Amino acid sequence: MVLKKNRNNGLRDFQVPKVPRCPRSARTRVPFKKPVEDDRSCAFELLASLAGELLKESESSASSNASEVKPLTEERFHNGSCEEKSSEKHLEIAEADCILERISANNNVNSEIFKLENKFGNLSDTNRVIEVANNPEAGRSGFERLSVDDKFSLKDPLKLGVNSPSLVNLNSNVKSPFRGGLFPNASFSRNGNDIKLGFIDDDEKFIRRNKVCTKSKAFRPSRCIARKIIRKRLTSKHWKVAPKLKDYEHSRYDKGITSSSRKRKTYYNFERSQCHTLLKRKKLSDKGSMVTRVGGFSSESVSDSPKKVIRGNNRSSSAKVRVSKDSHVKFSIESFRIPELYVEVPETATVASLKRTVMEAVMNIIGGGVHVGVLVQGKKVRDDNRTLRQTGISCKENIDKLGFVLEPSSSLASPVVCAGNPSLCEASEPTRSPGTPSIDSGISVVKQDSSLLANTGGDLVEINHESASSLADSISDDKLTKVSGALVSVLDNSVEALAAVPVNQSTGHSELVQRRARRPFTVSEVEALVHAVEEVGTGRWRDVKLRCFENADHRTYVDLKDKWKTLVHTAKISPQQRRGQPVPQELLDRVLAAHAYWSIHQSKHHVKHQTNSVQPLVIM
DNA sequence: ATTAGGG
DNA sequence: CCCTAAT
């Protein structure tokens, strides 16, 4: 079978014609320099990149010539006149500004969105593969988190990956009380007596690159905090209180974060001010809140191919199946549907923040690693091992509903963040979107699980105050209100009921709360962990965290503790039984040594010594 | 908020 | 990783 995506006809929607671009070389090095200005184009770029990746993937897997996908070379760029592109860019931005202004002015987003759609639909030029796409993790959180004073090398985008801890500092003259040796390749930076491991993580870029944020929790990026809160909220199965609207904000919101701790006060306040917009419940209660739903960007462009083509009628994409001899099926995918976006902004939000919000929503989707889902008869084909014939995709069959959807990478089970309206976060099957809320601008973004689209045949659900409260049910019952428009603007002013209905309750899908994406510890991390434990001892995970993982926000002290637990276990079992990325035996030995040592010595006995001076410890 | 331990 | 109980 030939899976061919014609470069001229296919994937047109992801092509980027006008969008200004930097040369590949420049993109890889400077792309994050001025994220704010670039984010718009970044989305387009990512779209283009996505197309490129898809193209590349399919072609390589289909034994076609993968080299058809060529990145824009510097050469090409120069030949292509930077100035032109640059001016185009300004045009684009200006245009976008206009659109968004119109949107905000009229509160009528439909027409404008359609125009945007058309824009997307006209994208042409798949000759570019954006490096970010190489590492799904890298681009997920949005570029705007990268500060200008980024000291990390951006030459190699792959370094931005979670599992690629970048070295902050290489002076690793860190003595281990156990080994008395040096950490060879560990990436430690010495900070007084603290050894910190510098990690770059998509979610943490912001923190790490902005010192301000690392020191005081009061300045912690609201996003992380918010995510935690959201998770917590979504996690708690019993928060069913239906306070009066008036008290809602306080009773509900404060409940979670009001704490006794005085010193965290500012933190909470900050958190609150930043996060309140996240809680869609509150939001929805706000009279002026506007929930916008952006349908997938897809254009149902019709190919002018004269061939005998079965065109997929699925809303999720525009696909064609060409029948050819030797029972090969040729697909011509004209457009993909991008998973829906949920965007919610207060009326008082600025246009700029709306832009960022939409931007981030898009980024979250296409930057988080995208897979392709196949839909037949409106149903998602889940069994990847089935043949096309078995699936009903064959020359004979009349494939009137063949569709493709872009969906978040299902490999990592990231949380579906229902920043605003949890009821919209339908739990649906394995593919969960790594949605990340954007709260920087006081705006929340919710990415809808794309598989929802698939399961529902891609129908859109109208959101309004009537249907919102029962939306979750509607979705799960497949009683979807079809909406012709790609975007529905909602002025919601009475969703009290909704606000009080936990997702779990209304949907019965308690699994909704996603567990965090699995993030295997790297050797460097293990190294750091071992080192910290050696010094601090077990049972003081907070200290361990502070010592070596303060900047690795995705590693909680619980994580560290758990990791230590597994390390000890790993060290005990035979190498054959170990799985995952192998941990150097040397480290495992240290683990055992430290474990043995600290199980005898109470770690508290050594507290003072550990904090200020490296106290040589006797290996048991 | 942390810690410890089971799942 | 998650969840919880106990601090």
CATH number (domain holding residue A584):
1.10.246.220
Other residues' Cβ atoms within 10 Å of the Cβ of residue A296: 26
Instruction: Tell me which residue of A40, A166, A143 sits closest to A438, measured CA to CA.
Output: A143
pLDDT at A566: 93
Q: Are residues A12 and A63 in the same domain?
A: yes
Q: Are residues A115 and A186 in the same domain?
A: no
Nearest nucleotide from residue A237 CA, by C1' atom:
C3
Query: In Å, what is the separation between the CA of A195 and the C1' of B5?
Result: 28
A569 vs A470: CA distance, rounded Å: 48
Q: Are residues A85 and A178 in the same domain?
A: no
Three-class SS of A565-606:
HHHHHHHHCCHHHCCCCCCCHHHHHHHHHHHHHHHHCCHHHH
Q: Are residues A115 and A12 in the same domain?
A: yes
Q: What residues contact A136, with CB distance under 8 A and at least 6 apart? A: A367, A368, A369, A370, A409
Nearest nucleotide from residue A517 CA, by C1' atom:
C1
Single residue among A134, A149, A177 that ends a domain in this structure = A134
Q: Are residues A125 and A32 in the same domain?
A: yes
For A258-278, the pLDDT digits (tens) are 333 333 332 333 333 333 323
Single residue among A134, A151, A182 that ends a domain in this structure = A134
A218 vs A312: CA distance, rounded Å: 52
A518 vs A567: CA distance, rounded Å: 16
- The CA–CA distances, whole Å, from A509 to A81, A383, A413 equal 54, 22, 16
Residue A288 belongs to some domain of the structure:
no
A582 vs A362: CA distance, rounded Å: 36
pLDDT at A344: 76
Residues A592-619 have a mean pLDDT of 59
Alpha-helical (H) ranges within A277-331 are 280-285
Residue A540, CB, strand B, below 7 Å: yes
Residue A458 belongs to some domain of the structure:
no
For A305-318, the pLDDT digits (tens) are 333 354 444 444 56
Single residue among A87, A113, A134 that ends a domain in this structure = A134
Residue A572 belongs to some domain of the structure:
yes
Q: Are residues A101 and A16 in the same domain?
A: yes
Average per-residue pLDDT for chain A: 47
Residue A606 belongs to some domain of the structure:
yes
Q: Are residues A530 and A575 in the same domain?
A: yes
Rounded to 10 degrees, the C-alpha dihedral A243/A247/A249/A254 comes to: -90
Q: Name the residue closest to B6, CA to C1'.
A: A562
Instruction: Tell me which residue of A95, A13, A10, A76 sits closest to A48, measured CA to CA.
Output: A13
Where in the sequence is the domain holding A82, given as residue range(s)?
Answer: 8-134
For A128-186, the pLDDT digits (tens) are 222 222 333 333 332 222 222 222 222 222 222 222 232 222 222 333 344 433 333 33
Protein-proximal positions, strand B, CB < 7 A: 1-7
pLDDT surpassing 90 at residue A565: yes
Residue A276 belongs to some domain of the structure:
no
Residue A452 belongs to some domain of the structure:
no
Residues A55-73 have a mean pLDDT of 34
Residues A473-489 have a mean pLDDT of 28
pLDDT surpassing 60 at residue A394: yes
Residue A557 belongs to some domain of the structure:
yes
pLDDT surpassing 70 at residue A45: no
Q: Are residues A30 and A105 in the same domain?
A: yes
Query: In Å, what is the separation between the CA of A562 and the C1' of B4?
Result: 10
Domain count, chain A: 2
Residue A316 belongs to some domain of the structure:
no
Residue A516, CB, strand C, below 7 Å: yes
Q: Are residues A79 and A169 in the same domain?
A: no
pLDDT surpassing 80 at residue A229: no
Q: Are residues A19 and A82 in the same domain?
A: yes
Q: Are residues A547 and A595 in the same domain?
A: yes
